[in-house]
Structure 1
């Protein structure tokens, strides 16, 4: 081959290598939110055996829905938040997906979810959390344009600083969870998170509770994570109930949603109220039950809890169930008015 041929061959090799490198270097496309359709079926009574009853503990039943969708990623709802007016819902599934929807009302009763959309939760570099092994997303909090998501099996919390601007396209960064030398059980890790409100002297501190990571006393471990460091806290465990979510009343008091499961007796849930002044480092939290329900009521695997005030100024509690993507379970969303 003459000199001209050698130069042409070399140039071709260099061009091919550059083209190959360019192809390899191309960033992955960021998954975009997709619209989905959610079908709603009314749950007119919380207690079918006593359909006229509306008062349960310190709550008044306002209505509910069974939700269904043909979208393959719909289901497994593990935590939810509502905007201050209660008209925009944001939730996560335990397979690493966001769900957003408008809450449609007929008077004081929830009537459906519309304009629904889903998208995978993104982590550093725009990769989906699920693709990095952080798929078991169980806990969600949104505060002031920032979102936090807790991942149960990997015991990590991701903070989304740009959630207020970018929504489901925001990318999370991992923050440390102070487990110390005692690791949390794989499937009993971080299940509920929330930012402590005023009038707590710890306002702005992140409260993270495990599902059933027990301390030496047999109580459920939790953590207070703030600018000045971290400390442990606990929730008194009774009657085999595990923590599934948390929220705060307008006065700051903490509500803890708990679930109980038995293969023989089914599922039950309860909500406990704890004064915000009791939430401090080293404390073991305990408080009265404000509502509970078992298989005699319209319940399933209740995992998500949110609080908002409606247009009439009433405090509304919204509870959602995780159907574990099983045809044997239901996705329920129930609403109660606070009468305590």
Structure 2
């Protein structure tokens, strides 16, 4: 062995052990991944996701302004197949030309079943009627200044029926992300979330525990990496949260939609869907991570 090789080897082993320790400290573990293929030119580009409480059905929205509903077939708890029950365009509150302005990114479904979507091309949040017609909610003054391709990426609703939305990018690389809350007919700034180098928010949901879960994505020019953080909504300081899991580059596709629910064993599940950007080199992937032991 050459001089200095043992030192470099020790340093490399230390880094590996440190990385393993960090992963061991993250409470969520990968349960399964399902690649979803459908022979339909409209299929793909999914950025928002909601899974029913029993894990047996889903709703997804695409960045071309379409909404899909489907029934989930499971084997030993993992997704084995999905049957589409409804698939069609969302009736926006006004014509969207060019088509990029139909970019529905966030999806939230209230406890009573009312559906809300957020748009990135036109920074707004819409409430959908039972017939799919959209009504625009009042804007927050800050919405007008958001970048067109980094606007209202995240949409979630808490147990009290209050909506939360946030942009994909903050005002600066080291500035926290604002999170706006819609209550009593208006948006207010509810809290801020710290920004971490290499990650941007793309999806969010509330769990049964009342915590806010944020899906974040990183891209290094070769592939995507994924992270979920959990936030207890207390205090007014920017929240850093706890990392639930961090998936390295190329483990998953471009995960953008997140749904948090509790399975039959009492565990919290994080179900995510990827936006394939309608590209052949990418895929529509549904990934599920699980937190906790049975009955926890």
Shorter-normalised TM-score: what interval?
Answer: 0.7 to 0.9
Q: Which runs of 5+ in 1 are unaligned?
A: 1-53, 198-202
Are 2:103 and 1:103 equivalent residues in the alignment?
no
Structure 1 match to 2:90: 121
Structure 1 match to 2:208: 250
TM (norm. structure 1) is 0.73
Output the CA distance in 2 between the equivalents of 1:337 and 1:205: 26
SS in 2 for 1:180: helix
**Structure 1 segments of 4+ aligned residues over 6 angstroms from their partners:** 130-133
Shift of 1:133: 6.8
Output the CA distance in 2 between the equivalents of 1:248 and 1:225: 15
SS in 1 for 2:234: helix
Shift of 1:179: 3.2
Structure 1 match to 2:9: none
Q: How many residues align?
A: 269
Equivalence map 1:21-60=2 (5 Å): 57-60=26-29
Equivalence map 1:4-15=2 (5 Å): none
Say if 2:64 and 2:100, in contact at 8 Å, map to a contact too: no
Structure 2 match to 1:147: 115
SS in 1 for 2:43: coil
Say if 1:192 and 1:243, in contact at 8 Å, map to a contact too: yes
Say if 2:223 and 2:250, in contact at 8 Å, map to a contact too: no
Structure 1 match to 2:58: 89
Aligned CA RMSD, in angstroms, stands at 2.5
Relative to structure 1, the CA distance from residue 336 to residue 227 in structure 2 (aligned partners, 3 Å threshold; closer, same or farther) is same
Q: Which runs of 5+ in 2 are unaligned?
A: 1-22
Output the CA distance in 2 between the equivalents of 1:65 and 1:319: 10
Of residues 274, 279, 283 in structure 1, which corresponds to 2:231? 274
Say if 2:157 and 2:205, in contact at 8 Å, map to a contact too: no
TM (norm. structure 2) is 0.83
Relative to structure 1, the CA distance from residue 217 to residue 115 in structure 2 (aligned partners, 3 Å threshold; closer, same or farther) is closer
Structure 2 match to 1:287: 241
Relative to structure 1, the CA distance from residue 107 to residue 216 in structure 2 (aligned partners, 3 Å threshold; closer, same or farther) is closer
